């Protein structure tokens, strides 16, 4: 079935590249970033270096992004480009008409150069947009093979004209982005972290004086930590530190946040579905701690200096977590005991934990998370 879908997508892409293209006296550059919030947060501070590079100073610069984090881009980064396009990835996957119209719109822009700074490239998403752009210069990374199906290997053989390769594994994604930016611009990158200056954050009123943010949900059911575990840690933080819990998540996390709120017996504020992404940054900036599973929330917190205790299972170890202490001084990942033992072996990390693994997040013991909290708060 996936092969048939792939063939259909290929036909749609081919049809979208038929017909006229805009012609402009000014050269055009398209930058594509359509992956998730965490990926964007680990990259966004490099955008200005690319757009300001001498190579592209005479270009009209466009950006193609994921609609799910459009609010963040429009708040902090919109002034770096002249035009932006926003993809609904669910519709792009399921609605063939939407897919055709989006790719055709990209094709008709008449780009001279396209840059795709994504390591985990995907034939059906970002690479299909690169192909539709039909630019003379196409710059990307040698792909992470995890998302490439066996029967699709080699599909991108002639897709890019320049490819950045950094074979060292593991490497924190921020540093890979830094190296790629230097590869694109020809100038060493000066970006040192993912921070968003506090002065740019909006004001969020009505929060408790002393609180911990709890993110008990995830779009991926495989990343869920049991509600009872969150409650045990939150109860400990209230009893020992007097923290009110501020429960956060998107509307899609409601079944997890509701389960927490229904069973938790100490003071809390439920902000599920009540904050924009930009407001969420302000909530995190004022918090004493974030307690969360492995989601985009940990990257939002790191960008505003909020300490993090995260529930991880060892997947893609050192690519997305833990953060280097120079970038986030208080970032505490908690792993299942058996996984933590493996992670001490450098050879095992390289051979087993580069990609996603199936270890249940539920195997992270409550006692380990409580110990991390106690160490952070000096108990």
- Same domain, yes or no: 286 and 320: yes
Domain range holding 166? Answer: 2-185
For residue range 186-217, list pLDDT tens digits in order. Answer: 999 999 999 999 999 999 999 999 999 999 99
For residue range 77-109, list pLDDT tens digits in order. Answer: 999 999 999 999 999 999 999 999 999 999 999
- Same domain, yes or no: 83 and 208: no
Q: What is the CATH number of the domain that holds 48?
A: 3.40.50.2000
In whole angstroms, what is the distance from residue 12 CA to residue 361 CA? 39
Look at the chain and report how many structural domains it folds into.
2
Burial class (CB in 10 A: 0-12, 13-18, 19+), 269: middle
For residue range 163-189, list pLDDT tens digits in order. Answer: 999 988 899 999 999 999 999 999 999
Q: In this structure, are residues 114 and 91 in contact, taking their beta carbons and an 8 Å threshold?
A: no
DSSP 190-254: --------GGGSPP--S--SSEEEEE---SSGGGPPPHHHHHHHHHHHHHHH-PEEEE---GGGH
For residue range 38-70, list pLDDT tens digits in order. Answer: 999 999 999 999 999 999 999 999 999 999 999
- Same domain, yes or no: 172 and 206: no
Can you give the length of the chain in residues?
A: 379
From 185, 217, 251, give the residue that closes a domain.
Answer: 185
- The verdict on residue 321 lying in a domain is yes
The one-character DSSP state at 144 is P
- What pairs with residue 29 in β-bridges? 61, 113
- Same domain, yes or no: 205 and 171: no
Question: Residue 147: is its pLDDT beyond 80?
Answer: no
């Amino acid at each position: 079935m996936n092969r048939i879908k792939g063939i259909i997508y290929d036909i749609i892409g081919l049809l979208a590249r038929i017909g006229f293209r805009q012609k402009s006296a000014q050269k055009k550059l398209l930058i594509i970033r359509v992956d998730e919030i965490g990926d964007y947060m680990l990259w966004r501070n490099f955008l200005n270096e690319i757009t300001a590079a001498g190579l592209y100073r005479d270009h009209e610069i466009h950006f193609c992004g994921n609609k799910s984090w459009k609010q963040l881009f429009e708040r902090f980064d919109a002034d770096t480009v002249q035009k932006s396009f926003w993809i609904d990835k669910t519709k792009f996957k399921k609605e063939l008409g939407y897919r055709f119209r989006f790719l055709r719109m990209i094709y008709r822009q008449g780009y001279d150069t396209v840059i795709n700074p994504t390591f985990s490239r995907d034939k059906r998403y970002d690479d299909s947009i690169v192909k539709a752009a039909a630019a003379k210069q196409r710059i990307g990374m040698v792909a992470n093979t995890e998302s490439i199906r066996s029967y699709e290997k080699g599909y991108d053989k002639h897709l890019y004209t320049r490819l950045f390769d950094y074979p060292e594994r593991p490497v924190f994604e921020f540093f890979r982005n830094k190296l790629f930016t230097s590869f694109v611009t020809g100038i060493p990158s000066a970006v040192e972290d993912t921070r968003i200056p506090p002065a740019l954050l909006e004001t969020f009123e009505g929060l408790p004086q002393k609180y911990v943010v709890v993110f008990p949900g995830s779009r991926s059911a495989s990343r869920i930590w049991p509600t009872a575990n969150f409650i045990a840690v939150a109860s400990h933080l209230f009893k020992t530190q007097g923290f009110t819990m501020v429960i956060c998540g998107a509307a899609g996390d409601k079944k997890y946040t509701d389960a927490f709120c229904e069973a938790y017996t100490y003071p809390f504020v439920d902000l599920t579905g009540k904050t924009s992404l930009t407001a969420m940054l302000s909530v995190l900036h004022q918090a004493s701690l974030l307690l969360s599973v492995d989601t985009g929330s940990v990257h939002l917190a790191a960008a505003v200096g909020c300490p993090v205790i995260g529930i991880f299972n060892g997947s893609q170890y050192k690519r997305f977590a833990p953060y280097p202490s120079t970038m986030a001084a208080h970032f505490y990942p908690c792993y299942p005991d058996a996984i933590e033992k493996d992670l001490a072996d450098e050879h095992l990390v390289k051979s087993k934990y580069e990609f996603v693994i199936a270890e249940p997040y539920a195997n992270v013991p409550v006692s380990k998370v409580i110990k991390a909290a106690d160490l952070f708060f000096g108990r």
